Chains A and B, each alone.
Chain A
Amino acid sequence: MSTATIVKLPPQETASLPRRSYLNSEYGLKSWLLTGDHKRIAILYLISITFFFFIGGAMAGLIRLELLTPQSDLMATDTYNKVFTMHGIIMVFLFLVPSVPATIGNFVIPIMVGAKDLAFPKVNLLSWYLYIVAGIFTISALVLGGVDTGWTFTTPLSTHYLNTHVITAGLGIFIAGFSSIFTGLNFIVTIHRMRAPGMTWFRLPLFVWSNYAASILMVLGTPVLAITLVLVVLERAIGIGVFDPAKGGDPLLFQHLFWFYSHPAVYIMILPGMGVISEVISTFSRKRVFGYTAVAFSSVAIAVFGFFVSNYSALVFSLLTMLVAVPSAIKIFNWAATLYKGSITFETPMLYAFGFMGLFTIGGLTGVFLGSLGMDIHLTETYFIVAHFHFVMVGGMLMAFLSGIHFWWPKMTGRMYPEALSKLAALTTFIGFNLTFFPQFIVGYLGMPRRYAAYPPEFQVLNVLSTAGATVLGIGYLLPMLYLTWSLKYGKIAGSNPWQATGLEWQIQSPPLTENFIETPLVDHEAYDYEWLAHQTEHEVQTVG
């Protein structure tokens, strides 16, 4: 039996895992650490980003505990500053940026385009090693005594006024940047050059499109971040004076350079998440994505506008922020329209996707508040911006990540997660999230500044609500961690296509073979063609020899 063949699956109870797969092709630690297999690298990434996510999450827990009372009493203000700095650095650079692309993307993109691996398997492994080195630098900055610049590294504070481990942390981010540049480069080349026969651009799943757009941003934007950090390190180590007005430098230059990366970075983080949502909504409503072309091009539009949203001029910044909101709105409405006349089921990935749609809409709309120049004066640097950012990144991106992990878990491991428990986790996450971050909009409009260890007592009620929510949210994140691990051994056997989804990755065995396809698949249908899929249950997938 060819692995690229669809056969009627035996009933689940009697099904067993395939005898040969990427998981058991080789054994031993070395076979994992020196692997070139994109699927194994994805698993390595998954383990490592989960590790960093929980460190970053612990930091978030400490922040919320400190803010339970108006006084700065749980820890010294210096410690508090170090904690929120580490939370930001770890979550942004070691979790959000690599989360979907490096784990899910790494695993499914080559299979989705019908390739046996990414274009440069060794570069792929290198980017994981760079990520680990970056992680070691960051963790050592933490262990050696911390860094308290804030994740934005604003000069001259970071260069002249702090004697913490700025250089170590800066190097960590610098290296993490190269890791994402390599991943982006690998994706771009793979998507351009390694599509299977018949897999035209407009037959690509939307997940591929959105990762493609994000990759372009990574490759073009991240070098600017790298340069900026090098300048900070040089300024700090030998005082070159680019940001120092006393030496003829410009203190504002740093902010221009840093935000030249960090505005597009928001889209680097969110675009792959949007791709997950397109796949999930289509699969569980059994319908092609409404307006495929519009959704595909809106990813590209977000990338293009996103790249130019940096603050050279206040007016241009504001205008581009407004323009970039439009393609995001198009996506939301197209997903909603995909549900129309579908045949909808509510498995866990779908629940997370619904959560994404609601929370991302709020996150996106409050972004319009901040993009509006006059409004931004009052809102910037307050908890309003904290709430907005977390609605987009946690409510949006993390929901998308969890949706994707649940969706592709059967493909990655060959086993199902427990459905009832995971639905409970999705609900817990949603409730906890809203309780944590919604009060922050209100306390932000009241004027509570971000990065404050102490605050006026009239803000306490809202902060207590927020901390209570964070506790619920914490449980929501621990649950999947536990039951997904449990399912590795005890989960039901998934079979090749448990969701009856159309992507090429669902037409091969779960977990896949190391080489993905035995024979190169021939693609003769568009993405999300459920009629084709129904037809395929009786006929074999066409292959070219």
Chain B
Amino acid sequence: MHFISPVLWQFLVNWLTHFALFPPEASEIAPYTDSLYFFLVLISLVGMTVVVLLVVLFSVMYRKERNPEPTQIEGSTLLEATWTIIPLALFMVTFVWGALLYFRIYNPPTNAMNIYIVGKQWMWKAEHPGGQHEINALHIPVNRAVQLTMISQDVFHSFSIPAFRVKREVIPGRYSTVWFKATQVGTYHLFCTQYCGTLHSQMIGQIVVMTPDDYEKWTNGSTSGASLAQNGERLFTSLGCSSCHSGNADSHGPSLAQAYGSKVQMANGSFATVDDAFLRDSILNPTMHQIAGYSPIMPTYQGQVSEEGLIDLVEYIKNLNSNYRVQQTLTTSTVQSTTPAAPAAGQGMVKQ
């Protein structure tokens, strides 16, 4: 072929070297998703074969030339029960398997390292607790559970990493989370999979999975100087939050030290856990969560703080809880020290 048309030949070679049939398995979850996938492919192949075989076989055996007189048959309860119960059983297995996988994918381990993602038309912004900011890229260490807390500044987006088999809607005005543990060093696609307007197909980026050493170098090299919590502290003062939430006994608002992760009693008697969403709502829409024992005097900060600012504040308040701080540092150091050297070649069928 190459002597007929070198251009075409080059084109073909280029194609075939880029040609992919199966995505890399680059996260702890991926093999679990793939085994369910292969199970379903197997069921489909068997089901398809049965149907095609029956149709072809009967078409040959009972074509008019061979079988001019049809034999009328009412039906058969036994047969019909068979092809009701067997698919039902297989589908129920799929249902249970799928549900278990779902909870495995979406229930984060408690020691996951947290990164914030803000989606907007048409880019992804990543905010690392250490103060590193990235656009359309996310650097993460290998073999370490990472949780993303994500929010959209405008419309629905969806954060998808096919090589990790994870994906989650990014919702305007509400945090959603996703977690994963990358198992292979490499660069993988990041896609926005929820149609979001003109440049939807360019709301893409790279997930860069690095060895712990490289990751540390990257972290040190790209810090902006102030961590998210430090930025948050600055905002906390400049917005005047500290005047009510000082933690003094006579202050108007509840103390925020140790608040994160605690259970608080609401004015209507119910209990709520203070999490990221709770903090965010309390800043923007204070009447939503009325804590018992405090009067509803807090003004709204809607329109005064950007999503990034809110993340800084949330991160600051989180860090006021010493347990949270200790846990994050602990997991960081232990995981880093116990992480083996990065696996060299991937096990995935396709190299990225």
Question: Taking beta carbons and an 8 Å cutoff, which residues of A are in contact with B?
Answer: 72, 77-78, 81, 148, 150, 152, 154, 156-157, 160-162, 245-246, 251-252, 285-288, 290-294, 314-315, 318-319, 322-323, 325-326, 329-330, 332-334, 336-337, 339-346, 354, 357-358, 361-362, 365-366, 368-369, 371-378, 380-382, 442, 445-447, 449-461, 530-531
Say how far A117's CB is from chain B's closest CB, in angstroms. Answer: 33
| Chain A residues with CB under 8 A of B101 | 372-375
Q: A81-B200, A342-B58, A344-B58 are in contact. Are A451 and B195 (CB under 8 A)?
A: yes
| Chain A residues with CB under 8 A of B79 | 337
Q: Do the beta carbons of A376 and B98 come within 8 Å of each other?
A: yes
B294 at the interface (CB under 8 A from A): no
| Chain B residues with CB under 8 A of A442 | 21
Say how far B279's CB is from chain A's closest CB, in angstroms. Answer: 16
Of all chain A residues, the one with the shortest Cβ separation from B173 is: A245
| Chain B residues with CB under 8 A of A252 | 171
B69 at the interface (CB under 8 A from A): yes
| Chain B residues with CB under 8 A of A288 | 72-74
B13 at the interface (CB under 8 A from A): no
Of all chain B residues, the one with the shortest Cβ separation from A529 is: B72
Q: A294-B80, A336-B51, A447-B160 are in contact. Are A377 and B105 (CB under 8 A)?
A: yes
Say how far A252's CB is from chain B's closest CB, in angstroms. Answer: 7
B67 at the interface (CB under 8 A from A): yes
Of all chain A residues, the one with the shortest Cβ separation from B165 is: A378
| Chain B residues with CB under 8 A of A336 | 51, 54-55, 58
* Chain A, interface SS category: helix
A286 to B18, CA, bound (A): 52
Q: Do the beta carbons of A358 and B18 come within 8 Å of each other?
A: no
Q: Do the beta carbons of B18 and A457 come within 8 Å of each other?
A: yes
Of all chain A residues, the one with the shortest Cβ separation from B54 is: A336
| Chain B residues with CB under 8 A of A445 | 22-23, 37
A83 to B300, CA, bound (A): 42
B84-124 CB contacts (< 8 Å) to partner A: 84, 87-88, 91-92, 94-95, 97-102, 104-106, 121
B267 at the interface (CB under 8 A from A): no
A160 to B194, CA, bound (A): 16
B174-216 CB contacts (< 8 Å) to partner A: 174, 189, 191-202
Q: Do the beta carbons of A342 and B162 come within 8 Å of each other?
A: no
Q: Do the beta carbons of B75 and A290 come within 8 Å of each other?
A: yes
Q: Do the beta carbons of B195 and A291 come within 8 Å of each other?
A: no
| Chain A residues with CB under 8 A of B94 | 322, 368, 371-372
| Chain A residues with CB under 8 A of B5 | none
| Chain B residues with CB under 8 A of A458 | 18-20, 350
A162 to B198, CA, bound (A): 9
| Chain A residues with CB under 8 A of B193 | 380-382, 449-450
| Chain A residues with CB under 8 A of B92 | 322
Size class of the contact patch on chain B:
35 or more
Q: Do the beta carbons of B202 and A77 come within 8 Å of each other?
A: yes
Say how far A17's CB is from chain B's closest CB, in angstroms. Answer: 28
Q: Do the beta carbons of A361 and B47 come within 8 Å of each other?
A: yes
Say how far B317's CB is from chain A's closest CB, in angstroms. Answer: 21
Q: A157-B155, A161-B154, A372-B36 are in contact. Are A453 and B102 (CB under 8 A)?
A: no
| Chain A residues with CB under 8 A of B32 | 374
A530 to B189, CA, bound (A): 60
Say how far A526's CB is from chain B's closest CB, in angstroms. Answer: 10
Q: Do the beta carbons of A446 and B22 come within 8 Å of each other?
A: yes
| Chain B residues with CB under 8 A of A286 | 70
Q: Do the beta carbons of B97 and A287 come within 8 Å of each other?
A: no
Say how far A105's CB is from chain B's closest CB, in angstroms. Answer: 26
A343 to B66, CA, bound (A): 8
Q: Do the beta carbons of B83 and A330 come within 8 Å of each other?
A: yes
Of all chain B residues, the one with the shortest Cβ separation from A286 is: B70
Q: A339-B58, A453-B201 are in contact. Are A326 and B87 (CB under 8 A)?
A: yes
Q: Do the beta carbons of B69 and A343 come within 8 Å of each other?
A: yes
Q: Do the beta carbons of B15 and A460 come within 8 Å of each other?
A: yes
Mind listing 29 A-B residue pairs with CB under 8 Å? A78-B198, A81-B197, A81-B198, A152-B195, A287-B71, A287-B73, A290-B76, A291-B75, A292-B74, A322-B94, A322-B95, A333-B80, A334-B75, A337-B79, A339-B55, A342-B62, A344-B58, A357-B55, A361-B48, A369-B37, A371-B95, A374-B101, A377-B166, A378-B37, A382-B162, A445-B23, A446-B23, A460-B15, A461-B15
| Chain B residues with CB under 8 A of A334 | 75, 80
A329 to B83, CA, bound (A): 8
Select which of A246, A366, A372 is within 8 A of B95 by beta carbon: A372
Most buried by B among A323, A325, A332, A372: A372
Select which of A157, A357, A455 is within 8 A of B156 by beta carbon: A157
| Chain A residues with CB under 8 A of B74 | 288, 291-292
A414 to B134, CA, bound (A): 69
Q: Do the beta carbons of B67 and A341 come within 8 Å of each other?
A: yes
Say how far A391's CB is from chain B's closest CB, in angstroms. Answer: 11
Of all chain B residues, the one with the shortest Cβ separation from A320 is: B95
Most buried by B among A78, A152, A374, A530: A374
Say how far A298's CB is from chain B's closest CB, in angstroms. Answer: 9
Q: Do the beta carbons of B70 and A365 come within 8 Å of each other?
A: no
Select which of A162, A325, A369 is within 8 A of B87 by beta carbon: A325
B37-72 CB contacts (< 8 Å) to partner A: 37, 40, 43-44, 47-48, 51-52, 54-55, 58-59, 62-64, 67-72
Say how far B269's CB is from chain A's closest CB, in angstroms. Answer: 23
| Chain B residues with CB under 8 A of A373 | 98-99, 101-102
Most buried by A among B68, B158, B194: B194
Q: Besides the contacts A373-B102, A377-B102, A453-B200, what 16 more A-B pairs have beta carbons closer than 8 Å? A: A156-B155, A245-B173, A252-B171, A287-B73, A288-B74, A319-B95, A336-B54, A340-B62, A357-B51, A375-B98, A378-B167, A381-B194, A382-B193, A457-B18, A461-B18, A531-B72
Q: Do the beta carbons of A287 and B64 come within 8 Å of each other?
A: no
Say how far B338's CB is from chain A's closest CB, in angstroms. Answer: 29
Q: A343-B70, A361-B47, A373-B101 are in contact. Are A251 and B171 (CB under 8 A)?
A: yes
